[in-house]
Homo-oligomer: A and B are copies of this chain.
Amino acid sequence: MATSRDMRISISERASGTSRARGRVYAILRDAIVSAEFEPGQRLSESELAERLGVSRTPIREALVRLRDDRLVEIVPQLGTYVSRISRQAIDDAQFVREALEGAAVRIAATRARPEDVAALDAIIVRQRDAFRDSDVARFYFFDDELHRSLCDLSGHGVAWSLSQRASGHLNRIRRLSMTLPAYIDEMIEEHAVVVDAVRRSEPEEAEVALREHLKMVVSAVPDIERLHPDYFES
């Protein structure tokens, strides 16, 4: 077997995957579910999805299998595929995972961040304030993700962010649904500032505590969402 160095390089180059239909379908379906365009409890037909997206059932199926790993759909043999209802347990699990992974990451980030890294974090917060002033909630959430991702990257463990995101499907549905309730936004920006400030002063413990406190904001919106859309939730 020819396992030359060159071949391995060409492998890692081409194994991106998102350009293929499978990855594209996965991204589309995941966004449709997280944004509640596909309503919780809704039935999904592989054939209909295949027709709507202009592909065959094969890449649809492979995407649905991945979404099932994310607990975002439930596949019942010979019966149907359903968009998972929002599960309090799944939210709780996701919250636990985020706090554990991102908390551990920001702790490390606080010990490694250089001044220019902190400046980049500050810049993100500025853009968040801009988005808030423009009432551009979508842009706000984009930079929210950017900040959290940057903190994970700074720790040298980008995997913390990707795993956290992968596990946070149910939580992100809450976030997206609460975009119409921007009452928290102002407070969230201030909490971000506290976290970044702790990172600036190289205070790992403080940074982790502040981040974990901040992450709890999202779950605080759950009761409001549940009042608005009781049928989106389990049992």
**Contact among B8, B14, B20, B76 with A11 in the assembled complex (CB-CB below 8 Å):** B76
In the bound complex, how far is the Cα of B75 from the Cα of A128, in angstroms?
A: 38
Question: What residues on B are CB-neighbors of A1 within 8 Å?
Answer: 41-43
- Chain A positions 156 through 175: 1 when the CB is less than 8 Å from some CB of chain B, otherwise 0: 01011001000100000000
Q: Does A93 contact B (CB under 8 A)?
A: yes
Copies of the protein in its oligomer: 2
Q: Are A159 and B74 in contact (CB under 8 A)?
A: no
Query: DSSP class of A's interface residues: helix, strand, loop or mixed?
Result: helix
21 contacts between A and B (CB under 8 A): A1-B41, A3-B41, A8-B85, A8-B235, A10-B76, A14-B77, A62-B62, A62-B65, A66-B69, A92-B157, A93-B157, A96-B104, A97-B101, A97-B159, A97-B160, A97-B163, A100-B100, A100-B101, A100-B104, A100-B160, A101-B101
What residues of chain A have their CB less than 8 Å away from a CB belonging to chain B?
Answer: 1, 3, 5, 8, 10-12, 14-15, 17, 20, 22, 41-43, 61-62, 65-66, 68-69, 74-77, 79, 82, 85, 92-93, 96-97, 99-101, 103-105, 157, 159-160, 163, 167, 234-235
Given A96-B159, A103-B104, 16 other A-B contacts at CB below 8 A? Answer: A1-B41, A8-B234, A10-B76, A15-B74, A15-B75, A17-B75, A20-B77, A93-B157, A96-B104, A96-B157, A97-B163, A99-B104, A100-B104, A100-B160, A101-B101, A159-B167
